[in-house]
């Protein structure tokens, strides 16, 4: 049985990756800095949980060798807001940590590393790719990150591609769109974004957003992102190495509000007329054809299905 280690495997997307691996019968080693079983309770008895720091190369090597790890899905990261608030710490975790994972993989003969990247690597959308036309971008769209998080993710991609070129390390990077799922209430949109809208509606609390809700983005449910990571882990001969993971469709906050009103008719969601400065202006629709052809990726959740599953996960967790 193949053994896969998921770094950040107790986080929001990492936990869903771990759940997907377990569902497929894969021996799963979940690696995280601190043990937090909140999002992995249902699979805790089916995985091996190891705590440690990705900045400790020797510890990584011992874990990989002791547990006979064959593949790694690297989802551990200092997330966007925290990295911007503490750039030195964000750089260490996202850059030094990623290089440690790549070096440990090289030294132990790991079969493949899958790296969780982000739309934050791109320059802000312009022309036909910007609102309101929102034509999909391909993976060749210009890169110009202006955040610590975006810069660190692009650096991780480049290092992975160089480990592939220099050492032959099998490396794949996935650029996720705007992911959402239960557990991701982070406040990154200024009003806590998609999760706040869903959770407020479910709890009967109002959501008031100071800007318009018509700007479209590629909102991908995190279970689809997790499934894509597992597909990338086992795909035969992924030629392109860099892939968009999204829905390939534009969805606005107004669209989300309409779905929530359908689920919760009494939900109060109000939009203002102010400028939308959320997510530093990176609202994209992804061209996902490369992932469809080379990884066999196909989103399983449309917006309504994602919202309903989110609510089910929230209810099960007692949220």
Work out the percent of the chain whose per-residue pLDDT is above 90: 86
* C-alpha closest to that of 175 among 230, 234, 228, 236: 228
* C-alpha closest to that of 171 among 221, 260, 226, 105: 105
Residue 281 banded pLDDT, cuts 50, 70, 90: low
Residue 219 banded pLDDT, cuts 50, 70, 90: very high
Q: Cα–Cα distance between 105 and 86 in angstroms, integer?
A: 28
User: Which pTM does this prediction carry?
Assistant: 0.95
Phi/psi of residue 113, nearest 5 degrees? -115, 125
Q: For strand 242-245 and strand 71-74, is the pairing parallel, antiparallel, or unpaired?
A: unpaired
* C-alpha closest to that of 84 among 10, 1, 148, 27: 148
120-161, pLDDT tens digit by residue?
999 999 999 988 889 999 999 999 999 999 999 999 999 999
Phi/psi of residue 77, nearest 5 degrees? -165, 155
Q: For strand 216-217 and strand 251-252, is the pairing parallel, antiparallel, or unpaired?
A: antiparallel
- From the centroid of its chain, how far is CA 79? 10
- pLDDT at 279 (0 to 100): 45
Q: What is the CA radius of gyration of the chain?
A: 19
- pLDDT at 282 (0 to 100): 80
pLDDT at 188 over 80: no
Structure tokens at 62: 């011992």
């Amino acid at each position: 049985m193949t053994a896969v280690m998921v770094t950040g495997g107790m986080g929001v997307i990492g936990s869903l990756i771990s759940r997907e691996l377990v569902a497929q019968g894969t021996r799963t080693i979940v690696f995280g800095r601190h043990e937090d079983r909140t999002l992995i309770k249902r699979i805790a008895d089916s995985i091996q949980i190891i705590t440690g720091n990705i900045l400790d190369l020797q510890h990584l090597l011992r874990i990989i060798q002791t547990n006979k790890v064959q593949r790694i899905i690297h989802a551990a990261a200092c997330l966007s807001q925290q990295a911007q608030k503490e750039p030195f710490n964000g750089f260490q975790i996202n850059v030094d940590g990623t290089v440690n994972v790549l070096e440990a993989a090289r030294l132990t003969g790991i079969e493949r590393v899958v790296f969780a990247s982000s739309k934050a690597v791109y320059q802000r959308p312009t022309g036909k790719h910007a609102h309101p036309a929102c034509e999909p971008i391909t993976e060749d769209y210009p890169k110009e990150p202006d955040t610590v998080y975006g810069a660190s993710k692009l650096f991780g991609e480049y290092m992975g591609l160089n480990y592939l070129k220099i050492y032959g390390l099998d490396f794949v990077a996935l650029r996720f769109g705007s992911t959402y799922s239960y557990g991701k209430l982070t406040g990154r949109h200024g009003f806590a974004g998609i999760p706040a809208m869903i959770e407020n509606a479910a709890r009967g609390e109002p959501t008031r957003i100071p800007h318009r809700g018509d700007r479209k983005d590629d909102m991908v449910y995190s279970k689809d992102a997790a499934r894509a990571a597992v597909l990338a882990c086992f795909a035969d001969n992924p030629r392109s190495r860099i892939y968009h993971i999204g829905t390939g469709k534009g969805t606005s906050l107004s669209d989300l509000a309409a779905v929530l009103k359908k689920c919760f008719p009494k939900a109060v969601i109000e939009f203002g007329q102010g400028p939308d400065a959320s997510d530093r202006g990176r609202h994209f629709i992804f061209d996902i054809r490369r992932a469809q052809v080379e990884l066999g990726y196909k989103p399983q959740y449309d917006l309504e299905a994602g919202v309903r599953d989110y609510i089910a996960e929230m209810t099960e967790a007692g949220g």
